[in-house]
Amino acid sequence: MFTNYFFNSLIFNPAVAGTNNHLTAHLIHRSQWLGLEGAPTTQSLSVHSPMKNERVGVGLSLVNDKIGASGTFDLNAAYAYHFSVGKKMKLSIGLQAGLTNWRGTWSKLLLEDRTDDVFSENLNVWKPNFGTGLFLHGERFFAGLGCPRLLEHDLRANDGNASVNAQNYRHYYSIIGAAFPLGSELVVFRPSALLKTTGLFSKMKDNQQALGAPTALDVNASFFFHKMLWVGLAYRTALELSNSSNDSADLWTALYFRNGLRLGASYDLPLSKLNKVNNGSFELMAGYEFDIKVKRVTSPRYF
């Protein structure tokens, strides 16, 4: 989960690789639910660039996620091919391949039942995976669909006597947005939305219960001032047919420097009952755009 997902969208859609027309790198750290013991922390690094043949883009992404005694680590290499769609739009088709590590140091837990088979052995599993995505973009519009993990792996074997199973599900990320200058290019309004869905088209085993993250929607409205300062507000909610819920209201900002440096931060105010036991969530972001075609980044992208 990231509030500043505009800056590291390569991690959920490989088709983004090379779409900035120059080498781009971003590093983001997120601390979720400050003050809550065992709360999630996540770091991501994404780097991507067009090749000499500008129709081709490549990228590399790393994500480290820790939640209490468990965590994951993702390493992926992405390849994208870009097609012209009319005079002003491009369609990118992306593929990625990589490795994911699932880990669980259950020995660190204080267990009520030490005979529970689920926690009898620590978990440390490496699995290969593949992902794909589509990204349609122009100067003022973008839309995309990505699935970073196509393969669903069993993370724990069934010993034949007990249902001790764990399985990762496919995650789908749909994004859409547009940029509207308000009178001039000195103030640009950008609304956008990100929909995250887990488990679609997944097949559960007979003795497994389908448990996954709820479908989540991020709605964002931001303003870009003088091609230097982004300021945005966002709202995140879970979408369930019988039990939808509010998650957070978010404030974020990013500052562009003319040498290509980009710095940003965000704060999420929890709206659920968790607000009684934590002090919100925050992110810090640093990025750089290595523009090799012009002297300076004078017209930064709106996404």
In a domain, residue 47? The reply is yes
In a domain, residue 85? The reply is yes
Please report the pLDDT score of residue 116 as a whole number.
80
User: 286 exposed, middle or buried (CB, 10 Å; 0-12, 13-18, 19+)?
Assistant: middle
Distance, CA of 86 to chain centre? 29
Average pLDDT of the chain, as a whole number? 88
CATH of the domain at 63: 2.40.160.40
Nearest Cα neighbor of 121 from 153, 178, 159, 149 is 159
Distance CA 68, CA 235 (A): 26
Residue 300 pLDDT > 70 = no
Q: 123 vs 157, which has greater pLDDT?
A: 123
In the structure encoding, which two tokens stand for residue 276, read together?
């009684």
Please report the pLDDT score of residue 26 as a whole number.
96
Please report the pLDDT score of residue 259 as a whole number.
85
Please report the pLDDT score of residue 207 as a whole number.
57
Please report the pLDDT score of residue 175 as a whole number.
97
In a domain, residue 60? The reply is yes
- The residue-averaged pLDDT of 196-220 equals 75
Distance CA 127, CA 253 (A): 36
Residue 24 pLDDT > 60 = yes
Please report the pLDDT score of residue 68 as a whole number.
92
Start-to-end C-alpha separation, the chain: 18
Please report the pLDDT score of residue 87 as a whole number.
87
Q: Percentage of the chain surpassing pLDDT 70? A: 88
Residue pLDDT, tens place only, 256-275: 998 889 999 999 999 988 88
Domain count, the chain: 1
Residue 169 pLDDT > 50 = yes
Rg (C-alpha) for the chain, rounded Å, is 20
pTM of the predicted protein model:
0.90
For residue 74, the enclosing domain spans 5-107+131-151+166-203+211-290
DSSP string, 39-85: --EEEEEEEEEE-SSTTEEEEEEEEEEEETTEEEEEEEEEEEEEEEE
In a domain, residue 217? The reply is yes
In a domain, residue 64? The reply is yes
Distance, CA of 146 to chain centre? 10
Q: 18 vs 154, which has greater pLDDT?
A: 18
Q: Long-range pairs for 147-152 at CB < 8 Å and ≥24 separation?
A: 147/171, 147/172, 147/173, 148/11, 148/12, 148/13, 148/14, 148/74, 148/76, 148/96, 148/173, 149/100, 151/127, 152/202, 152/203
Strands (E), 138-214: 141-147, 154-156, 166-167, 171-178, 180-182, 184-198
In a domain, residue 112? The reply is no
Residue labelled with tokens 């001790």: 164
In a domain, residue 258? The reply is yes
Please report the pLDDT score of residue 100 as a whole number.
95
Please report the pLDDT score of residue 258 as a whole number.
84
**Longest Cα–Cα distance in the chain:** 69
Per-residue confidence band for 173, with pLDDT thresholds at 50, 70 and 90: very high
Q: What residues does 28 pair with on adjacent strands?
A: 44, 285
Please report, to the nearest 10 degrees, the dihedral formed by the alpha carbons of residues 222, 225, 229, 233 taken in order: -20
In a domain, residue 156? The reply is no
**Range scoring the smallest mean pLDDT among 57-61, 76-80, 85-89:** 85-89
Please report the pLDDT score of residue 146 as a whole number.
97
Please report the pLDDT score of residue 295 as a whole number.
46
Please report the pLDDT score of residue 75 as a whole number.
98
Q: CB-based contacts of 63: which residues, under 8 Å, 6+ apart?
A: 11, 42, 43, 44, 72, 73, 74
